[in-house]
C-alpha cells in the first residue's frame, strides 16, 4: 500500500470526502499485526449530515425521476469500475480481514456480477395489474423507502456491500453504507467508484465508525426508513428492538450453526472436500459455515480418519503466500474468543482430533493465526455444538437414521444453511424438506447465486436477500385504482 500507517481515511457524505480525527481508529493487518492506517469515525453531527444529504439527493429529480434503464446503466458502470480496480479492492480486503488472495479476487468478481445482475433486474422488472373486482382498473406500484442504511460485516465485505447496495440503489433509494470497523476500506473504495460511475452525490454515503456508536445512531435515526444488516444474532436482536420502536422494516441476515450431513452411501472423497471447504474456507468465518458435522455411525470411524488427515494438510499461511488455503483470523480479539471456546470445550471433555492451537513457524507468529480444528466426543448440548464460534472449528457428531439426524440437526436456535451428502436423491429430498434452514445444499456446499433468495429460519434472520425479491426488499408497494 502507498498509504502510511498515519494516513487518515475520510468518509463520504453528500459527495464530499470528510476526515474526522476525533475518535479515529486503527485498521490492523491480522496477518502481521501491523497498523494499516487510521479510519475516520463519524460524530453524531456527521451522522445527521449523512441522513440529510441522503434525503436531499433522493428527492432530487435527477434520481427520483430517473428511468430504470438509466439507473441500470449507472449500476453497470459501477460494475465496470469494480473490475477495473479489482487488484486494489482485493488487497484492501486482504490486509484488513486476512482472507487469502484467491478468495479476495473471487469476491471482487462476485461484487461486480451482483451490480450487473441488479442492473438487469432494475431495467426489466415490471409491476402488476391486479384482477379487478368491480368497475375499476387496479395496479400495484412499487416505491423506494427513501433512505436505507446498510450495515455490513467484516468477514466478506466486498460481496455483502454489493449484495445490499446494488438492489437498494436499483430500487430507487439513497443508501448510507456503514461498514464494519474492521473492514472499512472496501466500502470507501466502492463509494469512490460509484461517484466516478456517475451516481449522483449523496445517493451513496459511506459513514465509518464503531457499530456501538455510529451504527446505533444510524439505526435509531428518525430519518432512516429501513435497515439491512448482516452480522451476529445479538446485534441483530438489538437492531430489531430499535426498529420496533420506530415501526421500521428491517432485513436481518444473522448467525448460523449449520449442520453438514454425511450418509453412509455418500461419495466420501467428495463429501470430505465439501466438509473441509464448508468449514475451513475463510478460516471458518462465514455465516453458512458447516460447523456441525453429522456422519452416519456405520462409516464414522473411517470417514473421520480420512477427513482429519486431509484437513491436516491445509496450507495455513500468509494470505498472499503462494498456495495459501487459510489465512489468519480477522482480528486478534476474535482469535482470543475462538481459543477460549475451544479451551472450554476441552475442559468439558471434547477430544481434539486436529488442531486446537496456533500454527508453528516464525513467519506466522506475529499474526492472528489458528490451525484448522476438529473436535469429537461431544454431547449434543455442548456449548461448542450449540453456539456459533465463527472460526475454523468443526464439531463432529454421529447419527443412526433419518429421524435421529433430524432431531439433532434441528435442535438449534439457528437455521441458516445445511448440507447433505448421499447417493439417494429420494432421501436427500425427504431430509431437505425436514431441515429447518433457509438454504440446503445436496452433494455440494456453499454454492451461492445472486439470483436465488437467501436468508435464515429461526434466529438466523428475517427477510430474504438476493434474487428479484432482493430488490423488492428495498421497496414498499402501493395500490392504485382508476375508476372506470
Give the active site residues.
253
Which strands make up the sheet holding 8-9, listed edge to edge?
8-9, 35-39, 25-28
Q: Is 292 helix (H, G, I), strand (E, B) or coil?
A: strand
Grid cell, residue 329, equals 483470523
- Name the one residue in this structure whose C-alpha cell is 425427504: 430
Q: Rounded distance, CA 74 to CA 70, Å?
A: 7
Contacts for 442-447: CB closer than 8 Å, 24+ residues apart: 443/266, 443/267, 443/270, 443/274, 444/274, 444/419, 445/260, 445/274, 445/275, 445/277, 445/278, 445/290, 445/419, 446/277, 446/278, 446/281, 446/286, 446/288, 446/290
Print burial letters for 74-99: b (CB count within 10 Å at least 16), e (below 16).
bbbbbbbbbbebbebbbbbbbbbbbb
140-143: long-range contacts at Cβ-Cβ below 8 A with a sequence spacing of 24 or more?
Answer: 140/477, 140/478, 140/479, 140/480, 141/477, 141/478, 141/479, 141/480, 142/171, 142/472, 142/475, 142/476, 142/477, 142/478, 143/172, 143/475, 143/476, 143/477, 143/478
Distance of CA 13 to the CA centre of its chain: 24
CA-nearest of 294, 12, 302 to 179 is 12
Q: Please state, in angstroms and rounded to a whole number, the distance separating the CA atoms of residues 380 and 374.
A: 15
CB 440 within 8 A of CB 432: yes
CA dist 358 and 371 (Å) reads: 6
Enclosing H/E stretch for 169: helix 157-170
Facing residues of 326 across strands? 316
Residue 483 Cα distances to 59, 133, 134, 294, 477, angstroms: 30, 12, 9, 60, 20
DSSP state of 214: I
Amino acid at each position: 500500500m502507498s498509504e502510511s500507517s498515519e494516513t487518515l481515511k475520510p468518509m463520504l457524505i453528500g459527495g464530499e470526502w470528510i476526515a474526522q480525527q476525533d475518535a479515529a481508529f486503527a485498521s490492523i493487518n491480522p496477518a502481521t499485526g501491523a497498523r494499516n492506517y487510521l479510519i475516520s469515525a463519524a460524530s453524531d453531527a456527521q451522522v445527521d449530515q449523512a441522513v440529510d444529504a441522503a434525503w436531499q439527493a433522493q428527492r432530487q429529480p435527477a434520481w427520483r425521476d430517473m428511468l430504470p434503464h438509466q439507473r441500470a446503466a449507472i449500476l453497470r458502470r459501477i460494475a465496470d469500475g469494480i473490475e477495473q480496480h479489482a487488484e486494489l479492492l482485493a488487497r484492501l480486503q486482504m490486509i484488513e480481514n486476512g482472507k487469502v488472495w484467491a478468495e479476495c479476487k473471487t469476491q471482487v468478481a462476485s461484487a461486480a456480477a451482483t451490480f450487473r445482475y441488479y442492473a438487469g433486474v432494475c431495467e426489466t422488472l415490471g409491476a402488476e395489474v391486479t384482477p379487478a373486482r368491480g368497475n375499476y382498473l387496479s395496479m400495484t406500484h412499487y416505491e423506494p423507502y427513501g433512505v436505507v442504511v446498510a450495515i455490513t460485516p467484516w468477514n466478506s465485505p466486498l460481496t455483502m456491500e454489493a449484495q445490499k447496495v446494488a438492489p437498494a440503489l436499483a430500487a430507487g433509494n439513497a443508501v448510507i453504507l456503514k461498514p464494519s470497523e474492521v473492514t472499512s476500506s472496501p466500502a470507501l473504495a466502492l463509494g469512490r467508484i460509484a461517484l466516478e460511475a456517475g451516481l449522483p452525490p449523496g445517493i451513496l454515503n459511506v459513514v465509518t465508525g464503531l457499530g456501538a456508536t455510529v451504527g446505533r445512531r444510524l439505526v435509531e435515526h428518525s430519518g432512516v426508513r429501513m435497515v439491512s444488516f448482516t452480522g451476529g444474532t445479538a446485534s441483530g436482536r438489538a437492531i430489531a428492538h430499535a426498529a420496533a420502536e420506530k415501526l421500521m422494516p428491517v432485513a436481518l441476515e444473522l448467525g448460523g450453526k449449520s449442520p453438514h450431513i454425511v450418509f453412509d452411501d455418500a461419495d466420501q472423497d467428495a463429501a470430505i472436500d465439501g466438509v473441509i471447504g464448508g468449514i475451513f474456507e475463510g478460516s471458518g468465518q462465514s455465516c453458512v459455515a458447516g460447523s456441525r458435522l453429522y456422519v452416519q455411525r456405520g462409516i464414522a470411524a473411517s470417514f473421520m480418519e480420512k477427513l482429519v488427515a486431509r484437513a491436516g494438510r491445509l496450507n495455513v499461511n500468509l494470505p498472499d503466500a503462494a498456495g495459501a488455503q487459510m489465512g489468519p483470523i480477522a482480528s486478534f480479539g476474535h482469535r482470543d474468543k475462538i481459543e477460549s471456546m475451544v479451551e472450554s470445550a476441552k475442559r468439558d471433555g471434547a477430544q481434539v482430533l486436529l488442531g486446537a492451537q496456533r500454527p508453528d513457524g516464525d513467519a506466522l507468529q506475529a499474526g492472528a493465526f489458528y490451525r484448522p480444528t476438529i473436535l469429537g466426543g461431544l454431547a449434543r448440548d455442548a456449548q461448542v455444538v450449540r453456539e456459533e464460534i465463527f472460526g475454523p472449528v468443526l464439531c463432529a457428531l454421529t447419527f443412526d437414521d433419518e429421524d435421529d439426524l433430524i432431531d439433532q440437526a434441528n435442535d438449534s436456535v439457528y437455521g441458516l444453511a445445511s448440507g447433505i451428502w448421499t447417493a439417494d436423491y429420494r432421501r436427500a429430498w425427504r431430509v431437505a424438506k425436514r431441515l429447518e434452514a433457509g438454504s440446503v445444499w445436496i452433494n455440494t456446499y456453499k454454492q451461492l447465486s445472486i439470483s436465488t433468495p437467501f436468508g435464515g429460519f429461526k434466529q438466523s434472520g428475517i427477510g430474504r436477500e438476493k434474487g428479484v425479491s432482493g430488490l423488492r426488499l428495498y421497496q414498499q408497494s402501493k395500490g392504485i385504482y382508476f375508476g372506470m
